[in-house]
Amino acid sequence: MKCVVFGGAGFIGSHLAERLSSAGHAVRIFDQHDRDAAGWAAGRRDIEWVRGDFLSAEDVRGAIAGCEAAFHLAWTTLPQSSNEDPAADVASNIIGTLRLLEAWRREAGGRFVFVSSGGTVYGVPRTVPITEEHPTQPITSYGITKLTIEKYLELYRVLHGVDYCVLRIANPFGERQRVASGQGAVTAFLHHAHRNEPIEVWGDGSVVRDYLYVGDVAEALARTLDYRGSFRVINIGGGIGRDLNQVLAAIESVIGRPVSRRYSPGRKFDVPSNVLDIRLARAELGWQPVTSFEDGLRRTLRWIAAG
């Protein structure tokens, strides 16, 4: 199958592109960065690379030409940055995605897979673990825009027959996660621990999150190509909650020494707990995480040390 990965130079997108290529799919990456800037793809001639502007209708049309499936991972914000400028969040992410959907339904077709945010669309949970039927009350612009795209996808299915699947991803970590962007507590903690630097913890460390290794995320995304069930929205997580203090203890175990911690006031948009119910992913995709948290830490640490 010919697949285009929007945002394929990024953290999850790069692992997905490799997973799809290894399965024999023809893969095209569309990203604002060129192949050499991505580093990992410099020698990967099995993956087609198209550099362009996600907000350019012409660039997007060229990216989807001849493709049978699209994976949408291109996103300009993170939870904190989205709240700082919600208008920019909407302008860059919602408008760009709607143009992509228009082009897709007019000129391409086939499976459209959107990476949503299991960590933000639900808001403060009423029950844990969180099922897909849980109310969605996001408290970040990031979660609101992700949820908005989910709603537009259903609209495009009803009006135009667009075949879509949404995966609500928990908190992935692993190789190629950009520490400088403020993305991902686990990878950032590992980075500072490796450099023997103090680790800043927002709040008292009791915030609970659902972490999973990026390779398992890529596997879940790849499986959506063959999924023809009736469920359109599926949670993808580790299924186990860990607070930040437990994460730090696991890092200390992996690196073999204590780490320095510095606690700061908590952030308003951090919900106290977020753990996803992944029973639907098991039943419908035949997927579950296979990489243990500790093994994921070791893999990520090796990548950090080699960099």
Q: Which pTM value belongs to this model?
A: 0.96
Q: In whole angstroms, give the CA distance from residue 79 to residue 93.
A: 13
Q: In whole angstroms, give the CA distance from residue 225 to residue 23.
A: 11
pLDDT at 180 > cutoff 90: no
Q: Which residue has the tokens 């909650």?
A: 241
- Mean pLDDT, the chain, integer: 95
Q: In whole angstroms, give the CA distance from residue 195 to residue 188.
A: 11
Instruction: Identify whether the C-beta of residue 216 lies closer than 8 Å to the C-beta of residue 289.
Output: yes
Find the mean pLDDT for residues 94-103: 96
End-to-end CA distance of the chain: 34
Instruction: Identify whether the C-beta of residue 142 lies closer than 8 Å to the C-beta of residue 82.
Output: yes
* Higher-pLDDT residue of 234, 108: 234
The residues annotated as belonging to the active site are 142
Chain segment 265-306, per-residue pLDDT in tens: 998 889 999 999 999 999 999 999 999 999 999 999 999 999
Amino acid at 147: L
User: Nearest-CA neighbor of 145 among 112, 177, 98?
Assistant: 98
Least confident of 31-45, 101-115, 117-131, 165-179: 31-45
Find the mean pLDDT for residues 206-217: 97
Domains of the chain: 2-173+213-238+277-290 (3.40.50.720)
pLDDT for residue 182: 63
Find the mean pLDDT for residues 210-217: 98
Find the mean pLDDT for residues 142-153: 98
pLDDT for residue 44: 80
* Higher-pLDDT residue of 239, 183: 239
Q: Which distant-in-sequence residues (6+ apart) come within 8 Å of 2 by Cβ?
A: 25, 26, 28, 66, 67, 68, 69
- Per-residue pLDDT band for 38 (boundaries 50, 70, 90) equals confident
Find the mean pLDDT for residues 27-33: 94
pLDDT for residue 307: 80
pLDDT at 17 > cutoff 80: yes
